[in-house]
Chain A
């Protein structure tokens, strides 16, 4: 139905795609996987008309076409849902769904008709969002659902989804999968880009693996296991994805005590403590208040109650105090809260730790030296040190963000979704880093929505549900079933028994 033959693409001197062939048939789900920077998004942007190819042919139903822009592609029925949302934040859900093709009656916009049509599409997605709600008031997963509704409400024949489930909960993912299956029975071809290989296995008919801009293989999904796919993606064996776990000693001193912390609207009376050398996982559904709790702990959000102490007697109230006490926080939102994406690498690296580079004047030589060290230590791949952070791949951005946080030499590291949207190779690097940090006497709190990550990494897992800590799991009790029971309210404090 839609095919690219010998697609190549260069950005300046960097070639990112080398003659890739890719096709999606009517009624199939074709998964596209690969590490970050492998060229998946670029390939799809070319097939959806957002970027021109440097060479190669695009065929729609066997006929060569020129997709000059995304409108032309849309006329061919090709719609792409981007990783970053393309929604007008100040407009309503219905206005967004019909943006650019408003229903017009006698020269005026027919609001009731648009509202009704939107409600119908949203109902199909089992999404309870009000068509009159403003986008800015929606949660991230709701925005994703609106984005999907916007795409399927068009006359879509090929739907390209770039990591649609990155921000969705398990239940929402199920709904999305049902919708995808319904679309394919109607003859729609779906391209599904994801890092979550279990999802790829569950939903797709065929899978194509890209590595370093080259096509590695296109295979029927039934013929490969997730481990096979991971191996093909990184080109090496991934059996040792997680480092060998060490156990911190039971009488290791407590380095952080959190007592009865409440964050208005999000967290109520959360308590936990963290020991030296420990990796403590935080599990829960999206919206359970894990991020808000940690931001409250480090003083980035105001607390209505609770004490946070790390060694000292005084409760930590501001991020300054937290950093002075050796606590650093790595945000889950690296583009909006973590890095200045329009700036080069060096000012980003030193921004948090700038007081260490001079009281008034910045020691530029020391900054450069720190940058060189960080590039070596974290294996940050940048073709040009002066390039903007936005042109780094997601994995390299994340490594830079980690390097930035480490500039303040913390003893307690709170990392929030440290591997979201990055490739398997970089994930492995980050796991190794966290493990080494804990072995060397540091303490780590990991918030993650990927359960294998928590199970593989954490010595102890605290589970949250609706702003409360519902339980803590240790040792052999840390498994998906137990986490889900506490996260959904089947077990633990406030269980709906």
Chain B
């Protein structure tokens, strides 16, 4: 019976292809690490790696929220601008509180609460415009992207908002501090990713997010409140932006019109490279983590070699995104 064995072979090769698709981002990440090590021995030093990963944390955390949004079938372009706006507001709030003679811990706590409230609120506004207003997510967040960016420019009067140096000294360790050599931003990123994975894969909410993106009508006919799920996803994205801002502000202690520029695209790119489907309904949280790190490593490796100009960074990242999607595309859907 030659036919069945032939068929069985084809089935197993189809399964292998599926596995390859799921592991693709991690294989690419491993390959990149090998490449980096070959190119420059400095690459593999703990100092360099910690440094790169710490800087990845902001867009990485935002991309975890973005994975939820994209899985519902939506998109959020406003996250970079929101990060800038929220950074500005945080600095303004903390600068205003400092002369009141409050202890620095309380100042930072109140500033953080303000940032979290503002970010979640902004996410919910996006969500409400999309669900209640029945406007495409792309259009809503394109609008709010412009609004937030403009508001931070206005608040900074076209210049830079700087954090009071006294508070900055106190707040600094949130970005630069570490436990056993691992900086806080990396730890927070890891925790956020783990929580994201548990929520998405193990909870009812996560299942509903996936179902909503896979087929909204089926979700509705399964008694799922699709609008509430989407709204919650945008709120969650806001929360992630808030966390990223909390970690980002102590880094430079300032916010300006160029803060968080392009973060939305970097976050979306990380999600897509990670294997989450752009059309929704299929999420890969750990893929997103790998995607975010891949983007950061490319930048780092280019900086460490002299062979290719750093100015070509975006071109190479663009190629990676396109290749990632080509590799992951369902073989059957090819014409």
Contact = CB atoms under 8 A, between A and B. Distances in A.
Nearest to B202: A361
Interface stretch (A8-16, A140-148, A421-429, A444-452): A8-16
B165 interface: no
Contacts of B223: 319-320, 323, 352
Interface string B202-213: 111101101100
Interface residues of A, number: 35
Given A360-B204, A362-B203, A15 B3 contact: yes
Contact of B203 (A12, A14, A360, A404): A360
Contacts of B99: none
Contacts of A11: 7
B207 A13 contact: no
A347 B215 contact: no
A351 B4 contact: no
Contacts of A8: 3
A13 B204 contact: no
Interface string A352-378: 101101111110100000000000000
A106 interface: no
Nearest to B8: A13
Nearest to A318: B223
B19 to A, nearest CB: 12
Contacts of B207: 347, 351, 354, 362
Nearest 8 pairs of A and B residues by beta carbon = A12-B11, A351-B222, A352-B222, A337-B221, A340-B214, A10-B7, A13-B7, A319-B223
B14 A337 contact: no
A340 B7 contact: no
A49 to B, nearest CB: 14
A336 B217 contact: yes
B238 interface: no
Nearest to B330: A342
A343 B214 contact: yes
Contacts of A352: 222-223
A13 B215 contact: no
A54 interface: yes
B222 A15 contact: no
B204 A54 contact: no
Contacts of B218: 336-340, 351
B217 A337 contact: yes
A259 to B, nearest CB: 24
Given A12-B10, A319-B223, A340-B211, A362 B4 contact: no
Given A10-B3, A15-B4, A340 B204 contact: no
Contacts of A329: 221
Given A15-B4, A361-B202, 11 more contacts: A12-B8, A12-B10, A13-B4, A15-B7, A337-B220, A338-B218, A347-B210, A352-B223, A355-B204, A360-B203, A362-B203
Interface in B12-59: 14
A300 interface: yes
Contact of A54 (B3, B202, B214, B222): B3
A343 B211 CA distance: 9
A241 B225 CA distance: 39
A364 B198 CA distance: 13
B281 interface: yes
A331 interface: yes
A361 B203 CA distance: 4
Contacts of B215: 336, 340-341
A319 B219 CA distance: 12
A92 B183 CA distance: 59
B197 to A, nearest CB: 13
B7 A351 contact: no
Contacts of B214: 340, 342-343
**Centre residue among A54, A341, A351 by max chain B CB count within 10 A:** A351
A357 B204 CA distance: 9
A354 B7 contact: no
A362 B204 contact: yes
Nearest to B279: A342
Contacts of B222: 351-352, 404
B204 A12 contact: no
Contacts of A342: 214, 281-282
Contact of B7 (A14, A339, A361): A14
**Centre residue among B203, B207, B223 by max chain A CB count within 10 A:** B223
Contacts of A404: 222
B221 A358 contact: no
Contacts of A14: 7
A93 B118 CA distance: 49
Contacts of A300: 220-221
Interface string B180-205: 00000000000000000000001111
A397 to B, nearest CB: 12
**Centre residue among B207, B214, B221 by max chain A CB count within 10 A:** B221
A336 B210 CA distance: 16
Contacts of B211: 340, 343, 347, 351
B226 to A, nearest CB: 12
Interface in B218-274: 218-224
Contacts of B8: 12-13
Given A300-B221, A337-B218, A347-B211, A362 B202 contact: yes
Contacts of B204: 354-355, 357-362
Nearest to B198: A361
27 contacts: A13-B7, A13-B8, A14-B7, A15-B7, A300-B220, A319-B221, A336-B217, A336-B218, A337-B217, A338-B218, A339-B218, A340-B211, A340-B218, A341-B215, A342-B282, A343-B211, A351-B211, A351-B218, A351-B222, A352-B223, A360-B204, A361-B203, A361-B204, A362-B202, A362-B204, A362-B207, A404-B222
